Structures are given as structure tokens and as C-alpha cells.
Structure 1
């Protein structure tokens, strides 16, 4: 199937999913569920590509498996975090609800639809890879697979460490500084960006593969300027105040090994 048709089918599917999720979010008064299904829309795209794309079968199986594993892992982590507190909406969305009142439901609908659009826009590497008919697996593709493995394991470790910290009642109101979080305020975001760089490397050997650079660039913009670090740190400052300010001064915002370097220099 031609790539434009694949993109259209995936866009319609993701928009339908987000429309249903929006309806559910209105019913339960918790927009935080959008995060879960944003992650799960990537496995949906992978499944559609597996059955509809006409690229080299071995490569298609590889990329679809990679997207499925990474998406389901993140989706399961977010599901556990959000579903465990359905009666309490995450602070970021509470803030949006206040800012968008009295038309918050309408604005949340378009926000959810934008998430579906971002799913498909970020999936550009997947479309290119799954449609690549070259039977040879190139060096950049192997490099992408290795980097993908590092990214998935690193992000899983960061998420697990934060979850374990939050599960301890004695840590309520404290700032997580265990494991990777001792060296970076956002190690999960660091490995998430690394994941999209891996997808770009995997796609670069495909025809028009250079276009896939858009995905890590978009993710970097979102993480640094929009819904990632700025929104997360604003909420952390609102909820933890001086404790988080001290944490900001002692750690890197992003790169996990920065704190060690600072300590060594001092």
C-alpha cells in the first residue's frame, strides 16, 4: 500500500481512539488518561503497518516489533500510574483545566486530537522503514537497533526507580534522587529522546530517510519547550517548592552523567 494511504489510515485510527478517550476523560473528569493512549497509539500504528505496508518483510517485522515493545512498555507504565489514581487528576491537567475554563471540555477535545496527529507525525520513521523494500540491512539500521535497546532499558530503569520511590509512604512530598534521578531531573525524557534518535538512524537508509530527522527534532522541542520539562518542573515547583529548587541547582535537567562531572570539578 502506498505511504500516503498508510498515513491516512493511521491518522483516522488514532483520531478515533483519542475521540473515545476524550469521551471517557470527560466522564471521569481526568484528562491524564490521554498520556496512556498517546503511548499506546504507537503500537496501534505498528500493527497497521505490519499488515498493510509492503516493505521488506524482515525489516518490517523488526521495526514493528521494536515500536510494539517500546510503546506497550511505556503504555503499561503510564496505565499503572494514571489508573491507580483515576480520582485525582495530574497537576498539569488540573492547571490546563483552570486556564481553559469555562470551555475546557471543548479545548481538551482538540488537545486530544492534536495528540493523535502528533502520533502520526512522529511515526514518519516507521512509515519509511516499513515501506523500504531493500532486502539488505545496513549499518545504520544495526546502530539504530542497538541504540533503541539502550533507550528502552534506560527509560524502563528510570520509570521503575521513580515508581519505587513514590510507593514508599515515607517519601511523600520529597524529591526523587535515587538511581538515575540522582544525576538528572528527567532521565526518562533523556532516554525517550534517545529512542527517537534510534528510530531516525534505523530509517536513514530508506528512500527519503533523511525526513525521519523530524521525529527526534519534534520530540526535543516538545520535551524542552512544551509538554515535557517546562510543564513538569512548573508542577514540581508548585507542589514541592524549595526542595525542588535545591534539586534543580544540584542536578542536570537532562543528561544523566552531568552531576558527576560537576562533583569532580569541585
Structure 2
């Protein structure tokens, strides 16, 4: 674990840089919701920077290995693929849309962009650094890595498939004019109201598992725990469902028959075989501090 303090400092600096760039982009474009698209790529940037920095730190010490090569490359690939997919999806989805109402409301209430820094970017940058602790540890753990890394990869792939397919199904549903005003309850959305948030949770549990062959890895258990708490109880599922319950007719019936998070066969509904109107949770995988919806 030689050089971990340097690596984690580099991760924190990278998170700060990502937040600063997203803030400047918001100032230039007049849309601070660009921070949502920066969430996934921010993790990818942290993974890449810590990969490089850990190698440089080891190279400066004679005979010092930068860590297990297989684990380092595996985790780097996992985070970059997840982060760039998520960022691209959100960027395309938000293209041409006005400022997110959440940010517009903040700006109107506080009268300046400083509130975005205090209420969104600072907590989001710290969260990005903290959640990425398993990634940082993976870059410096001395090998050989245990076979648990492949279990972690399997859990990660389950999550990546869930959020990718769930996002694609929701995007196709919303593009169809015939579905205007309806709720999405097809495909993966039939088995969980939040396949994207469930996928995000699996991704970060999988990344955490890749470092649990060492007690150093177990010290980062609060990182995936924080991500799951945000997804389920704070700014993901909870915020989306509060908004949907207030704006979408038939949403209560969808909640009654469909699992809230972990995929499960739907329960029978008094509305009929299909359980009422088709439905969507209205959310998509994205920033856990600034919820995507």
C-alpha cells in the first residue's frame, strides 16, 4: 500500500477538477445540469489518474511494484466503461432540453450560481472521491490478487447490463408518441421500478468485491454502502418516486405490483392482468447527488 496517500490525494484533486470544469461549462452554456453528465466520466477520470499516478509512485521507488497488474487494468476498464457509457447517455438525453428545474429553482431562490457550488458540486465532488476509494485501493494493492476479482467482475457485468438495457428501453419508450403520458412497465421495468439504480448498485458492489481479497479492501466497504444509500434512500429512488407519485396517474398501482429495487416477478393487481397503465419510474442512472430523471 506504499503511496496510497499520494494516490488518494490525486483522486481528490481529480474530483475537484471535474467539478470545476463542469461548473465553468454551466456558466458558459447557462445549463448547470451539465454536472449530471460529468458524474460518470468523473469516476473514469479518477480511475485513469490513479492508475497513472500509482505507476509513477512505484517507478520512483527502486524495486517497488505499482500493484497487481491484472487487478489494476481490470478495475480501470470497469470504471471507464461504466463512466463513459453513463455520461454519454445523459449528455444525449439532456441535449436540447432547458435547464433542469432543480438547478433553476436553486438559482432563483439564492440569486446566484454560488449555491450550485455549495449545494451540489462540493458534496458531489467529495462523494465521488469517497465512493471511488475501492478503485484507489485497487491501484496500489500488492499482488497476487485473489479469484474474488472475477466474482466482482460478474456482479459488475450484471449491473452494467441492467442499467444499459433499462436506459435503452426507457429511451425507446419515451420516443414513441403513442406512449405520451403513460408509465413504463415493460422489459426490465416490469420487474423493478429502477433497473438503472439497481444496476448502479451492482456495479459498485462488483468493483468493491475486486479488492476484498485483502483486508485493505474491506476497509472501503462504506464506499458502496454510501452509493447504495444514495440510490435507494436519498437522491435516487426516493426522489424519483416522490415526484412520480405526484405527477403520474396510475403510479400507485405500478408501485403496488412492482418491486422497488431488486428485480422480482410482479405481483397481481386489481387493475387486471397487466396491472393498469404502462409505467416508468421516470429515472435513469446518473448522478447520485444530483438525481437524474
Per the normalisation by structure 2, the TM-score is 0.81
Is the Cα contact below 8 Å between 2:67 and 2:142 reproduced in 1? yes
**1:160-208 superposed Cα distances (whole Å, 9 cap, x missing partner):** 1111111112222221111011121111111111111111211111341
Counterparts of 2:224 and 2:170, CA distance in 1: 24
Within-5 A mapping of 1:124-139 = 124-135=133-144, 137-139=145-147
Counterparts of 2:99 and 2:244, CA distance in 1: 15
Runs of 4+ in 1 over 6 A off after TM superposition: none
Within-5 A mapping of 1:210-221 = 210-221=218-229
Are positions 1:202 and 2:193 aligned together?
no
In structure 2, the residue matched to 1:179 is 187
Counterparts of 2:106 and 2:172, CA distance in 1: 28
Deviates more, 1:25-34 or 1:146-155: 25-34
Counterparts of 2:29 and 2:242, CA distance in 1: 25
Counterparts of 1:175 and 1:257, CA distance in 2: 18
> Shift of residue 218 of structure 1?
0.1
In structure 2, the residue matched to 1:85 is 96
Structure number having the greater helix percentage: 1
Is the Cα contact below 8 Å between 1:159 and 1:188 reproduced in 2? yes
Distance 1:20 1:219, change over 3 A: same
> Shift of residue 94 of structure 1?
4.4
In structure 1, the residue matched to 2:170 is 162
> Shift of residue 91 of structure 1?
4.2
In the alignment, which of 123, 129, 133 is matched to residue 120 of structure 1? Answer: 129
Counterparts of 1:255 and 1:59, CA distance in 2: 28
In structure 1, the residue matched to 2:73 is 61
Deviates more, 1:25-34 or 1:198-207: 25-34
Counterparts of 2:99 and 2:185, CA distance in 1: 24
**1:121-163 superposed Cα distances (whole Å, 9 cap, x missing partner):** 000111111111112x312111101111111112111111111
In the alignment, which of 113, 137, 140 is matched to residue 105 of structure 1? Answer: 113
Counterparts of 2:31 and 2:240, CA distance in 1: 17
Q: CA RMSD in A?
A: 2.1
> Shift of residue 32 of structure 1?
2.0
User: Which consecutive residues of structure 2, in runs of 5 or more, have no partner in the other structure?
Assistant: 55-65, 274-293
Is the Cα contact below 8 Å between 2:159 and 2:200 reproduced in 1? yes
In structure 2, the residue matched to 1:46 is 47
> Across the two proteins, how many residue pairs are aligned to each other?
257
User: Which consecutive residues of structure 1, in runs of 5 or more, have no partner in the other structure?
Assistant: none
In structure 1, the residue matched to 2:278 is none
In structure 1, the residue matched to 2:57 is none
Counterparts of 2:103 and 2:240, CA distance in 1: 11
Are positions 1:228 and 2:239 aligned together?
no
Counterparts of 2:187 and 2:86, CA distance in 1: 19
